[in-house]
């Protein structure tokens, strides 16, 4: 997979699919602004049933919306955009995030920029980034379960009591390395993050910030028993596999939860297809970091 700027843009935008953060009735005025601006460019706005009920309008089946739309828009926080990205992943449509939340690393368009941002899209003054996705496979003799993760996979203990032990194996064709024992993590758990997710739970747990167009796997232990345990960044061609004899909870993008006791192991590598993100051409990631994390402020 090639992670880069300058991904091919839609030849035309005739329909835009829209989802809202759940229970966000106060967003209706902003929805009307988006609809009005898109309509002025001849674009039909499709709204999923779940979001439409908060707007008191008629909605459309979510899968049908994904199929028919040329671009998809999320109004809310990063969680809303991540949910949209995961649900629409197989349709490979460009996503635009409008921030109606707080931090907003992914939804970097503010509410007061709605009209100007949409107008720039129709002047071809925008770019599309291809963000890395993790391919997740829960291994079982009864059949493997395949999933995708945009932000991170968290392996954690089910309760606040005790610690868990997680065995990590790694392999790489490029490094000519067959499956080899990487580490045994003993503590509260482990985060396997994408560069996009590096500013989420990974950052809170002491992991590194990694530029979002980097191709890498980030492994960050959560409150490890040994103070010498440190995060590690692995190249994109690595495949990692984790198992545990302790009861371990698997949380994918903070939205899907599984118990590892029902599986033999969890295997993770980088998916061939990324997620297309629409950004302003003048968006500078380091300016975003300085603003969101208040770097350099007194």
CA dihedral 150, 155, 157, 163 (to 10 degrees): -140
Please name the residue ranges forming H helices in 138-296: 201-204, 285-293
Please identify which of the residues 78, 108, 129, 152 carries the catalytic annotation.
Answer: 78
Using CA atoms, how far apart are residues 199 and 205, in angstroms rounded to an integer?
10
Beta bridge partners of 155: 190, 250
Q: H/E/C letters for each residue in 29-76?
A: HHHHHHHHHHHCCCCEEEEEHHHHHHHCCCCECHHHHHHHCCEEEEEE
- First and final C-alpha spacing in the chain: 41
Q: Is 78 designated active site?
A: yes
Query: Residues with Cβ < 8 Å from 38, sequence gap 6 or more?
Result: 16, 44, 45, 118
Q: What is the CA radius of gyration of the chain?
A: 20
Using CA atoms, how far apart are residues 298 and 296, in angstroms rounded to an integer?
7
Using CA atoms, how far apart are residues 20 and 81, in angstroms rounded to an integer?
9
Please name the residue ranges forming H helices in the chain: 28-39, 49-55, 62-68, 78-87, 114-121, 201-204, 285-293
Structure tokens at 205: 């747990």
- The kind and range of the H/E element at 129 are strand 126-131
Q: Are the CB atoms for 14 and 44 separated by under 8 Å?
A: yes
Active-site positions?
A: 78
């Amino acid at each position: 997979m090639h992670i880069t700027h300058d991904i091919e843009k839609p030849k035309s935008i005739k329909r835009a699919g829209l989802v809202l953060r759940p229970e966000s009735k106060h967003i209706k005025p902003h929805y009307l602004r988006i609809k009005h601006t898109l309509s002025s460019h001849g674009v039909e706005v499709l709204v999923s049933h779940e979001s439409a009920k908060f707007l008191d309008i008629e909605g459309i089946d979510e899968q049908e919306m994904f199929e028919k739309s040329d671009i998809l828009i999320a109004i809310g926080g990063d969680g809303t955009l991540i949910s949209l990205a995961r649900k629409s992943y197989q349709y490979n449509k460009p996503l635009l995030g409008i921030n109606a939340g707080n931090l907003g690393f992914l939804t970097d368009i503010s509410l007061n920029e709605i009209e100007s941002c949409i107008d720039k899209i129709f002047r071809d003054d925008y770019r599309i980034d291809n963000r890395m996705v993790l391919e997740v496979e829960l291994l079982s003799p009864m059949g493997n379960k395949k999933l995708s993760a945009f932000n991170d996979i968290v392996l954690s203990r089910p309760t606040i009591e005790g610690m868990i032990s997680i065995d990590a194996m790694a392999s790489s064709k490029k490094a000519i390395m067959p499956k080899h024992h990487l580490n045994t993590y003993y503590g509260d758990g482990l985060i396997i993050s994408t560069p996009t997710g590096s500013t989420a739970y990974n950052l809170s747990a002491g992991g590194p910030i990694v530029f979002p167009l980097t191709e890498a796997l980030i492994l960050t232990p959560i409150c490890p028993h040994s103070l010498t345990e440190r995060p590690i960044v692995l190249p994109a061609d690595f495949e990692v596999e984790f198992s545990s004899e302790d009861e371990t909870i698997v949380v994918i993008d903070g939205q899907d939860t599984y118990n590892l006791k029902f599986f033999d192991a969890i295997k993770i590598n980088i998916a061939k297809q990324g997620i297309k993100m629409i950004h302003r051409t003048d968006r500078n990631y380091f300016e975003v970091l300085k603003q969101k994390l208040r770097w350099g402020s007194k």
